[in-house]
Amino acid sequence: MKVTGSIAEIRALSRQWHTEGERVGLVPTMGYLHEGHLSLVQRSRELADRTVVSIFVNPTQFGPGEDLDTYPRDLDRDLELCSSEQVDAVFIPSADTFYAPGHSTWVEETALSKGLCGGSRPRHFRGVTTVVTKLFNAVQPDLAVFGRKDAQQALVIQRMVRDLDIPVEIHLGDIIREADGVAMSSRNARLNEVERVRARALNHGLKAAGGLCESGERRAAVLLSAVEKALREADAEIDYVELVGLESLQPVSELTAPALLAVAVRIGATRLIDNCILRPRG
Ligand code: AMP
């Protein structure tokens, strides 16, 4: 397994694979890998001949006062996991080399990135689309795999690739959960024991809304208040709970077509997100 922080080196490796007729898959991550990340690696290995994992805690997608400095990191363990998943190369750019002094160019999606997480994290998606573009330019993959856990991010990236004619296929992997239903996240490591139990409320809330939906409920207000109730009982500080169109990410008041139910909360100092798709019955 090749491990490099050099853009020139990863690009040369990718070029070499392409000359040999191989397809290259990329799984972008911020490290502190868990089963959710590894499921994306497995997907890439099914779809491509070579798989590159990038590990980069991207400073430009964190706002002031967010958890850039305390974001969990364990590179040795990440490399062991990549190696055991038979990853071909790990790309680990350093923040200084990836963002040259005076970096002043941004890639910005201006519609889908405004609501949901974009509401409370105004520069977040600009950082994401810029870093994903840079990762694509460095690795030159044929395809990239992202998780549905970050549903808005996935949609923003699909839109960016479409709008800018970026020749990378985007594939999405399902949300991988812990045994108690909590969506796997690197940030779960920052929860203490009590907070970790409280974190179950996200999935409980989504499931409560799912249950109502199964029994025929279509009113967004009723579905949303079921989620809010579960979150309030766990004393989670709600950032948003929204039911939005799958493609538009615009709020819907009635479930007439499949829609995305998305939540973001703070539990203690840790921000957590989760989502599910609700489908109207019948
Ligand atoms: P991150 O390291 O949190 O930036 O995530 C890197 C990629 O892994 C993103 O495409 C995420 O959507 C995806 N991911 C994170 N957690 C999960 C999960 N529990 N299940 C599936 N994919 C995930």
Active site residue 34: no
Residue 96 gets which letter from DSSP? H
pLDDT in tens, 135-172: 999 999 999 999 999 999 999 999 999 999 999 999 99
Q: Judge residue 214's burial from the number of C-beta atoms within 10 Å of its C-beta, 0-12 exposed, 13-18 middle, 19 or more buried.
A: exposed
- DSSP output for 224-260: HHHHHHHHHHTT-EEEEEEEEETTT--B-SB-SS-EE
Give CA–CA dist 23/244, Å, rounded. Answer: 35
Identify which of 99, 54, 57 has the alpha carbon closest to the alpha carbon of residue 79: 54
pLDDT in tens, 17-37: 999 999 999 999 999 999 999
pLDDT in tens, 178-236: 999 999 999 999 999 999 999 999 999 999 999 999 999 999 999 999 999 999 999 99
* Bridge partners of residue 260, in order along the sequence: 244, 277
Q: How far is the CA of 29 from the centre of ligand 1 (A)?
A: 7
Structure tokens at 152: 């808005």
pLDDT in tens, 56-101: 999 999 999 999 999 999 999 999 999 999 999 999 999 998 999 9
| Strand intervals (E) in the chain | 2-4, 24-29, 50-55, 89-91, 143-147, 169-173, 237-245, 259-267, 270-278
Looking at the CA of residue 185, tell me the nearest atom of ligand 1.
16
At residue 26, the pLDDT reads 99
At residue 107, the pLDDT reads 98
At residue 226, the pLDDT reads 98
Q: How far is the CA of 275 from the centre of ligand 1 (A)?
A: 13
At residue 62, the pLDDT reads 97
Assessment of whether the complete model's pTM goes beyond 0.85: yes
Predicted confidence (pLDDT) at residue 117 exceeds the cutoff of 80:
yes
Predicted confidence (pLDDT) at residue 281 exceeds the cutoff of 90:
no
Predicted confidence (pLDDT) at residue 282 exceeds the cutoff of 80:
no
CB-based pocket (< 6 A), ligand 1? 29-30, 36-37, 39-40, 146-147, 149-150, 173, 175-176, 183-186
Provide the pLDDT confidence category of residue 265 given band limits of 50, 70 and 90: very high
Q: How far is the CA of 22 from the centre of ligand 1 (A)?
A: 25
Provide the pLDDT confidence category of residue 266 given band limits of 50, 70 and 90: very high
